[in-house]
Amino acid sequence: MLNNHISLSKLQIYLLIIYLLPLALILWFIASFSVNVPVGDQFALISFFDKIATGNVNFKDFFYQHNEHRIFFPRIIFLILAFTSNWQIKIELYFSLFLAIFNFCAIYKIAAISQKERNILFHSFNILTCVLTFSLVQNENWLWGFQVSWFLINTCVILSVLLLSLTNTWSTSIKLTLAALCCFIASFSSAHGLFSWLAVIPSVASVEGNTKSSKIRLLLWISFFIISCAFYSIGYHKPGHHPDTLFFFKEPLAAISYLLTIIGTPVGKLFLPRMISGLIILFSFIFFNVYYIYNYKSKFAYDLAPWLSIGWFASFFALITTVGRAGFGIEQASSSRYTTVMILLIISCLQMWRLLIYHRQEWFSKNNYLRLGSYLLVGILAVNFITGSTSAIANGRATWLDRSRGKTCLEIIHFFNKSISESPDNCLKFIFPDPALVISSAETLQKLGFRHFPRDIAFIAEPTKIHGYVDISPKTDQLLTLSRNGSVTLAGWAILPDSSQQPNLVLLSHGNNQSFFASAVVNIDSSDVANNLKSNRYKKSGWQANIYPKSIPLGETVIKAWVYNQEQKQFVKLSGESKIKVVE
């Protein structure tokens, strides 16, 4: 008896370790590739934070439309996290992870309600669900704090399904009230949250009660959906930059391709194209919907209801996204940010296959082909996610590099000329496409105390050690004359010889100005520099910049290149100068 107890404990420990591995991977991913800098839509929050700080905020500021979304509840989360942490972006990322952990625990609980035995079937499918929940294919959302709303809506949907699945815990009215509250929060967290009301209908229908009370509940539920839509539409306007919503009907084949791609993207494309994967997932989900309808009164159908709700939500999201975004092109359908919702459809299908096997064990054990096909499918999914994680890590590193450059650029924003906004290669575009907005937002961030942008950085024109070199193309030792509409290419290499942290940007000035009109990314292979200086840290120390004279005053001047030493708060000049003359 003691040996059995010890054996069971060991098994539980092993299972716990297996369940925790995907979570550990995400923790490492966020810690390694997150950057404490606002990006993209997060800049829209800065004016909102300013209104909070000055006491000028009102209900409209919370309800205000962002693109096509009402992010009322996410704004509350953002302001709490921002003002308690001086807007440390990583806090938002870990909050998203907390929501994902809650989501998996709730899904595990829903699975446990319908299957009491914790056998290999139960754990195999739930381990795969765990891998999906913490999948790196969501890399964009794991690294972008603004996507808290997507994880929050998933939480609301899953929690409402869990509440409605509980038996002998609370009264029917309490469960329905709490589930409705979850759907209400989802509705005003993003546009697709509105469809949580419709998605949860199978779970609402499965709540115990007679036929009359069930019909009343469903009628009330649909009424809540209509009321939420009515509130949502107050003052609503379609974003001007979005494609035609009739694109689906004008280009049905392109729209269907978009739909199948958005469904199949979370699986990856190692074995099958995304559209084929999407088609398989879609047919699988349709099969269970049909099975549910034809066996509505059975125990199996009752157990299917929660997973149908979760799958319906992802399906509604795929449909509404296709209607609203298919005009952007099929490549946009494979965006990793959509996978956070679409993973729920795959989880739904997997859990329903688990239930089919559980309820039809005898039939399943006799059908070798079906059993082999199921194991093969699980194996393909596992391999796909492993290979997808490899590419996601590469994407995470690329994201980290770009945002690190943007962060450096933002930190020294007081040293950029106004003409930086006109440069097509300026480094502020790594964090937002409109440099002018970034510049104005920086003043607000400093006023709020969320960031500090120094004004007293020293310029070291004659460093004691070489920090790099600048050359001009075409090479010339003479004065190079350029017209206003011309261009010239500068190139070279740049390092920080006394630091393990190497520069990610080269900054360009003209004349004796202690300010910069352009920048260049340091990322070109420079094996010769690494060999000469005997350090692998300098393997990617090369840089190249296209200079447009429209940003430079008329007449003769000298172009100088600098690197920023963040540790010592210095701009250090590179060796070499380029003399040019700008003419009309």
* pLDDT > 70? residue 3: no
* Same structural domain, 84 and 176: yes
Any long-range contacts for 245-250 (C-beta under 8 Å, 24+ apart)? 245/323, 245/324, 247/323, 247/326, 247/327, 248/322, 248/323, 248/326
Cβ atoms of 409 and 430 within 8 Å: the answer is yes
* Same structural domain, 133 and 269: yes
* Same structural domain, 396 and 476: no
Which residues does residue 521 pair with via DSSP β-bridges, in sequence order?
505
Q: Which residue has the tokens 């995470």?
A: 396
* Same structural domain, 347 and 482: no
Structure tokens at 265: 């993207």
* Same structural domain, 121 and 262: yes
Q: What is the pLDDT of residue 44?
A: 92
Cβ atoms of 469 and 560 within 8 Å: the answer is no
Close Cβ partners of 32 (under 8 Å, ≥ 6 residues apart): 396, 400
Structure tokens at 352: 């329903």
Domain assignment present for 221: yes
Domain assignment present for 413: no
* Same structural domain, 218 and 132: yes
Whose CA is closest to 388, among 346, 328, 431?
346
- Report the Cα 584 to chain-centroid distance in Å: 46
Which CATH number fits the domain that encloses residue 538?
A: 2.60.40.10
Domain assignment present for 421: no
- Mean pLDDT for all residues in the chain: 87
The tally of domains found in the chain comes to 2
* Same structural domain, 380 and 467: no
Mark 489-513 as b/e (b = at least 16 C-beta within 10 Å).
ebbbbbbbbeeeebbbbbbbbbeee
Domain assignment present for 409: no
* Same structural domain, 270 and 343: yes
Whose CA is closest to 457, among 501, 420, 507, 422?
507
Q: Which residue has the tokens 């054990």?
A: 365
pLDDT tens digits along 242-272: 666 677 777 888 889 999 999 988 887 766 7
Cα separation of the two ends of the chain? 94
CA distance 218 to 523: 59
- Report the Cα 53 to chain-centroid distance in Å: 28
* Same structural domain, 474 and 361: no
CA distance 341 to 337: 8
Picking from 400, 423, 441, the residue at the C-terminal end of a domain is 400
Query: What DSSP line would sit under 65-126, residue for residue?
Result: EETTEE-HHHHHHHHHHHHHHTS-HHHHHHHHHHHHHHHHHHHHHHHHHH-----HHHHHHH
Whose CA is closest to 339, among 503, 154, 477?
154
* pLDDT > 50? residue 5: no
Domain assignment present for 499: yes
Domain assignment present for 10: no
pLDDT tens digits along 383-403: 766 666 678 888 999 999 999
What count of Cα atoms within 13 Å lies in the side-chain half-sphere of residue 399?
A: 25
Cis peptide before 474 (omega within 30 of 0): yes
pLDDT tens digits along 402-457: 999 999 999 999 998 877 766 777 888 899 988 888 988 999 999 999 999 999 99
pLDDT range class, residue 332, cuts 50, 70, 90 = confident
Domain assignment present for 11: no
pLDDT range class, residue 373, cuts 50, 70, 90 = low
Domain assignment present for 432: no
* Same structural domain, 294 and 385: yes
CA distance 404 to 584: 37
* pLDDT > 90? residue 228: yes
Of the chain, the percentage scoring pLDDT greater than 90 comes to 52
pLDDT tens digits along 487-534: 788 899 999 998 888 999 999 998 888 999 888 999 999 988 989 988
As a residue count, the chain comes to 584
User: Residue 563 region, left (φ>0) first, then alpha (ψ -120 to 50), else beta?
Assistant: beta
522 is in which domain, residue-wise? Answer: 457-583
* Same structural domain, 139 and 265: yes
DSSP-derived letter for residue 266 is G
Picking from 385, 400, 415, the residue at the C-terminal end of a domain is 400
* Same structural domain, 192 and 69: yes
CA distance 523 to 552: 25
Picking from 381, 400, 419, the residue at the C-terminal end of a domain is 400
